[in-house]
Amino acid sequence: MKKDWWKDAVIYQIYPRSFQDSNGDGVGDLQGIIKRLPYLEKLGIDAVWLSPVYRSPMDDNGYDISDYQDIDPIFGTLADMEELIAEAKKRNIRIIMDLVLNHSSDEHRWFLEAKKSKDNPYHDYYVWRDGKEGELPNDMKACFGGSCWEWVPEVGQYYFHQFSVKQPDLNWENPKLRQEIYNMILWWMDKGVGGFRLDVIDQIAKEPDQKITQNGPRLHEFIRELSRETFQKGALITVGEAWGADVERAKLYSNPDGSEFSMVFQFEHIHMDQLPGKEKWDLSPLRLVELKQVYKKWQTGLYNCGWNSLFWNNHDLPRIVSRWGNDKEYRVESAKMLATVLHGMQGTPYIYEGEELGMTNVGFTDISQYRDIETMNMYRERKAAGYSEAEILKSLQAKSRDNGRTPMQWSDEENAGFTTGTPWISVNSNYHEINAEKELADPDSVFCYYQKLIHLRKENRIFLDGAFTLLAEQDQQIFAYTRTDETEELLVCANFTKDPADAGVMEAWKQAHPDAELLIHNYKEAPGSTLKPYEAVIYRASH
Ligand code: GLC
């Protein structure tokens, strides 16, 4: 098998609790995923990244693992997991598991032991500081609220947690812990998994005394050892989640020599509707010109010396069509436009469940409808800080992680065909209009458009290795770029707004390439010199 098969692959992310329930308990499960493999095959994807399905008390929906070598009963059994890997393989789909290695659950056997006494062999698997109850080691704050430090009376020490109090940080300085992690990964590799997504991997080399969480001094040393001891023994896709990555660091992470990962998930583009120094909840419009510059930097910066992941969505982000498209009158057009802009670039595209249907934010109007720990925490903090209920709900409607976590909309049956029971989180009420059954039956649907894009990427090598050049850099409406190799050129041109946009840049390119062929287009009528709301095209021409 080619070591870098993942370069021309398209990955589909499943949030298992929201994908398909098979037993009526209201929570999606592995048998549900198996049932939907034909759907995924039809879409044309090559691999599925599963958010965590390990045993977990579910404080953070599985990102708090209490046994890395077992499946949580709400999702099924280890045998179901083996069946999923085997069934997916029959359809040429690989299964990518989510590895949460920065922290475990406080209910993991290691932590239960660790907190018994200072001389317990597992004590040093976690990060502890001496102190007195009520006198915190320092003022570092945890991601899901409160201090990073939690007192354990049994040992008279604080443990460190960057996320919730139920997610104690693992101590990567300890070689025995690292070895246990490697053994566990090799065990999964032996089961035939196709790769791993590494949760908040840039936070493993923490130095709490210096208040360092991201990009700690030993980070790349740890990652190289991890990669050498595990991933490099197979032909895996590995993708590190790295909120703190810049282009220089991403070159290390995705070094073509394979010493670290295949690629990283970095989020610089995602911040283009957030103002510097502000929180994501402080809403601000998208800055398109800056967004284009960010892509230019990453597309040119990693060319021939690294690899990009391409994504708009995941389980931590709101739905892109509601965020930067238009989820009302131009839902279909804008969903297709966003897909065109992204899939035209160099890198490995990730499609998050429901994105291929143009699923939208859910618009919950009451805090009781939300489930996410981050959302609950924000609600408490902003209430205490004096924000009004209406202001808080407005921010959540735009940015809560639950927007991406409502059940997959399969059909217009009750609960969108997701479950016969009561779903763990409400289904978006627009499922009668937006659902997979309807999309599959309509050749002009968002689904069919994604299918076509995936196909185009596979048929045309230039998507894989063409060099990227941004056009019309200062244009406030148009996102246009070319991809070029020795023989061919692609033009990707899109109107990112709901107003008609002057397409002079496209006209000029077409004049220079009179033989250009239209590969894909999100409107029926041929493109004119003005691009319609959210209109997008890809042309191909030979030099
Ligand atoms: C990552 C996950 C997120 C989780 C956090 C803590 O950012 O994507 O869902 O809450 O890590 O594990």
Do 64 and 189 have their domain in common? yes
User: Does residue 163 have its Cβ closer than 6 Å to ligand 1?
Assistant: yes
Look at strands 263-265 and 237-241 and give their pairing.
Answer: parallel
Residue 166 inside a domain? The answer is no
**Length of the chain, in residues:** 543
Compute the distance from residue 314 Cα to the ligand 1 centre, in Å: 11
Phi-psi region of 507 (alpha: psi -120 to 50; beta: other; left: phi over 0): alpha
What distance in Å separates the CA atoms of residue 231 and residue 323, rounded to the nearest whole number? Answer: 36
From 121, 137, 160, the end of a domain falls on 160
Q: Residue 350 corresponds to which tokens in the numbers above?
A: 């990730």
What distance in Å separates the CA atoms of residue 228 and residue 168, rounded to the nearest whole number? Answer: 26
* Angle subtended by helix axes 175-190 and 219-229, to nearest 10: 40
Residue 168 inside a domain? The answer is no
* CATH code, 538: 2.60.40.1180
* CATH code, 115: 3.90.400.10
- The 10 Å Cβ neighbour count of residue 389 is 12
What distance in Å separates the CA atoms of residue 171 and residue 154, rounded to the nearest whole number? Answer: 19
Residue 416 inside a domain? The answer is yes
Do 265 and 317 have their domain in common? yes
User: Does residue 200 have its Cβ closer than 6 Å to ligand 1?
Assistant: yes
Question: Which ranges in 400-542 belong to alpha helices (H)?
Answer: 436-441, 446-459, 462-465, 504-512
What distance in Å separates the CA atoms of residue 67 and residue 107, rounded to the nearest whole number? Answer: 9
pTM score, whole prediction? 0.98
What distance in Å separates the CA atoms of residue 246 and residue 297, rounded to the nearest whole number? Answer: 10
Q: Give all strands of the β-sheet with 263-265 in edge-to-edge order.
A: 263-265, 237-241, 195-198, 94-99, 47-50, 11-14, 348-352, 309-310
Per-residue pLDDT at 543: 87
Name the residue with the closest Cα to ligand 1, atom 9: 316
Quote the domain boundaries for residue 122.
109-160
- For a pocket test of ligand 1, which of 200, 202, 203, 317 has the largest count of ligand atoms closer than 8 A to its C-beta? 200
- For a pocket test of ligand 1, which of 163, 202, 264 has the largest count of ligand atoms closer than 8 A to its C-beta? 163
How does pLDDT run along the chain (543 residues), one tens digit per residue? 788 999 999 999 999 999 999 999 999 999 999 999 999 999 999 999 999 999 999 999 999 999 999 999 999 999 999 999 999 999 999 999 999 999 999 999 999 999 999 999 999 999 999 989 999 999 999 999 899 999 999 999 999 999 999 999 999 999 999 999 999 999 999 999 999 999 999 999 999 999 999 999 999 999 999 999 999 999 999 999 999 999 999 999 999 999 999 999 999 999 999 999 999 999 999 999 999 999 999 999 999 999 999 999 999 999 999 999 999 999 999 999 999 999 999 999 999 999 999 999 999 999 999 999 999 999 999 999 999 999 999 999 999 999 999 999 999 999 999 999 999 999 999 999 999 999 999 999 999 999 999 999 999 999 999 999 999 999 999 999 999 999 999 999 999 999 999 999 999 999 999 999 999 999 999 999 999 999 999 999 998
From 397, 416, 448, the end of a domain falls on 448
* CATH code, 18: 3.20.20.80
Compute the distance from residue 199 Cα to the ligand 1 centre, in Å: 6
Do 82 and 224 have their domain in common? yes
Helix (H, G, I), strand (E, B) or coil at 5: helix
- As a three-state string, the secondary structure of 371-422 is CCHHHHHHHHHHHHCCCCHHHHHHHHHHHCHHHHCCCCCCCCCHHHHCCCCC
* Angle subtended by helix axes 446-459 and 331-343, to nearest 10: 20
Closest ligand 1 atom to Cα of 374: 10
Closest ligand 1 atom to Cα of 144: 10
User: Does residue 169 have its Cβ closer than 6 Å to ligand 1?
Assistant: no
Fill in the DSSP letter of residue 525.
S
Q: How many structural domains are present in the chain?
A: 3
Kind and range of the H or E element at 228?
A: helix 219-229
Tell me if 339 sits within 8 A of 450, measured CB to CB.
yes
**What's at 269, amino acid-wise?**
H
Residue 134 inside a domain? The answer is yes
The sign of the dihedral angle between the CA atoms of 240, 309, 248, 140 is: negative
Look at strands 128-130 and 157-160 and give their pairing.
Answer: antiparallel
| HSE-CB for 516 with a 13 A CA cutoff | 22
Residue 329 inside a domain? The answer is yes
Tell me if 448 sits within 8 A of 439, measured CB to CB.
yes
Helix (H, G, I), strand (E, B) or coil at 201: helix
Do 88 and 114 have their domain in common? no
Catalogue the E-assigned strands of 75-227. 94-99, 128-130, 149-152, 157-160, 195-198
User: Does residue 402 have its Cβ closer than 6 Å to ligand 1?
Assistant: no
**What's at 303, amino acid-wise?**
Y
User: Does residue 199 have its Cβ closer than 6 Å to ligand 1?
Assistant: yes
Q: Residue 455 corresponds to which tokens in the numbers above?
A: 């196909």
Fill in the DSSP letter of residue 351.
E
What distance in Å separates the CA atoms of residue 372 and residue 59, rounded to the nearest whole number? Answer: 9
Residue 520 inside a domain? The answer is yes
Do 217 and 119 have their domain in common? no
Name the residue with the closest Cα to ligand 1, atom 6: 63
Closest CA to 122 of 176, 197, 74: 176
**What's at 160, amino acid-wise?**
F
Residue 149 inside a domain? The answer is yes
From 448, 479, 509, the end of a domain falls on 448
Compute the distance from residue 316 Cα to the ligand 1 centre, in Å: 7
Do 42 and 151 have their domain in common? no
Do 293 and 313 have their domain in common? yes
Residue 431 inside a domain? The answer is yes
